[in-house]
Amino acid sequence: MIFEFRTYQLKPGTVPNAVQAFADKIENRVKLSPLAGFWHTEVGELNKIIHIWPYKDINERNEIRAKAVEAKVWPPAISDFVTDMESKIVYPAPFSPNFQPGEHGTCYEFRTYTYGAGAIPKTIESWSKHIGERTKVSPLIFAGYTEIGPLNQWIHVWAYKNMGERERLRGLAMKPGSWPPPRPEGVVMHRMVNTFAVPAAFSPLK
């Protein structure tokens, strides 16, 4: 399975209009393939929308997107709002829950770590030893790595009822030797980016 992460930077003040444009089209689009989730950013880079789509593989992704365009059910008419667009193909880690639909709250935390070449297999191994204890504190929504787009990125998504709960639960999780997982020898991290986003009313994850 693969996941397409699509992130659009919008002009200030246009997020409500863009979200509504997606809401107007989404019912027919999801008849072709499911939506994993849809959010707009609240902390970090503002005026962004994030929508994530699961597919069996790249071929299925290409076929479904072509069908959606041919049937004129997609894309929404948002070109006047968009200033930048990014797409990533992300593979899930073996322990990832893979965006199972559910209601978790208003605060979704998207953490993106960029590593040096060759670090992802070691990162997965390290996380595998610690993720069980961490998810006893709060749910992991997804964890995986980029395969197309910016490479060597490790993306993990967490859900909380609100920012206050996030602070409290992360405090409980951040115990020495428990979390975060130790960085394996030889693994170099170049960048860390953290974004908080709010789910749309039509998102399967809310």
**In b/e form, how buried is each residue of 86-113, taking b as 16+ CB within 10 angstroms?**
eebbbebbeebeebeeeebbbbbbbebb
The answer to whether 51 and 99 are in contact (CB under 8 A) is: no
- Domain-embedded: residue 163: yes
- Domain-embedded: residue 205: no
- Domain-embedded: residue 206: no
pTM above 0.85, yes or no: yes
pLDDT at residue 34, as a whole number? 98
Q: For residue 143, give the amino acid letter.
A: A
- Domain-embedded: residue 41: yes
Give the structural domain span for 16: 2-199
Residue range 110-166, pLDDT digits in tens: 999 999 999 999 999 999 999 999 999 999 999 999 999 999 999 999 999 999 999
CATH number for the domain spanning 151: value is 3.30.70.100
- Domain-embedded: residue 174: yes
Count of the separate structural domains present in the chain: 1
**Residue with the two structure tokens 């020495």:** 176
Q: What are phi and psi of 30, to 5 degrees?
A: -75, -5
- Domain-embedded: residue 204: no
- Domain-embedded: residue 144: yes
pLDDT at residue 175, as a whole number? 78
Average pLDDT score over residue span 8-36: 98
pLDDT at residue 64, as a whole number? 98
Which of 60, 50, 85 has the alpha carbon at shortest distance from 2? 60
- Domain-embedded: residue 136: yes
Q: Higher model confidence: residue 87 or residue 183?
A: 87
